[in-house]
Chain A
């Protein structure tokens, strides 16, 4: 495994992923390394697919050249956030692959996971989770 000092942002892979995320119907816009998140690809989901109570749904991705990544999904409503996070990095609290459970995605909310080696497949499993979440927000809303 690569040394952690070689862990640098993988801008090429991120741009590639961003271009493909931008083609999805549920994605309203994608920003690559925006000013306020200079290391991330940020995708805003189209709010027409969410109840009016939700003001913003953001998806944020970072990938590094040692294979590490973190992916955050966040819904904003009236100043409160509902979020979860998929991580791959060495840490003292969990296995290298782990998931920070909603609604707060804190360190103590982490559970071990085993993600696919290929990042395209990782995104696929994350998006499946988001699909389920979209169904859930409507169920909770009614």
Chain B
């Protein structure tokens, strides 16, 4: 047992984090960078972030484009961006693995949250809220963060609903 007087020497978080990064395969490094291509980005910049050659980066980026995860937005210079539809499809697919009772339970919880937000802000949706009406300057970030949560709740409701419908269709098809 250690006491307060002899603290265990803590391992460095930053060093270990860097090691986990360095231990990753080339493919995983390009993948992690590709996940963050929220704006069209040139291959050279992607290669630098992933610490791989441009040729290697281009090969993987073309593969990720083929499976639909990325879209190529320009050629010479090659630019790539995330395809949000793919990520949405993946989230719905993941939800599809849950039993229908679980989907319904989650849907109920999220709908209840959405109702509470609507009551609290007294508007139809988060885009109709002026954060300054609800907070003074010091708290405004809390309101923003809550509006962001509201948007996420709405998105989750849509996706849960989609997953539930897919479930129904599958059940009917196999019946």
Contacts and interface: CB of A to CB of B under 8 A. Distances in A.
A111 interface: no
A120 B21 contact: yes
Interface string A119-134: 1100111011011001
B151 interface: yes
A2 B36 contact: no
Interface string A39-77: 100000000110110000000001011110010000000
A127 B145 CA distance: 23
Interface stretch (B70-78, B83-91, B164-172): B83-91
B36 A67 contact: yes
A90 B141 CA distance: 11
Secondary structure class of chain A's binding surface, majority of residues: mixed
B32 A120 contact: yes
B82 interface: yes
A16 B149 CA distance: 20
Given A13-B36, A106-B138, A118-B33, A7 B148 contact: yes
Contacts of B13: 24, 26-27, 127-128, 130-131
Interface in A70-129: 70, 87, 89, 91, 93, 106-108, 117-120, 123-125, 127-128
Contacts of B140: 91, 107
Interface of B: 2, 4, 7-8, 10-14, 16-18, 20-21, 32-33, 35-36, 38-39, 49, 82, 84, 87, 90-91, 127, 137-141, 144-145, 148-149, 151-153, 155
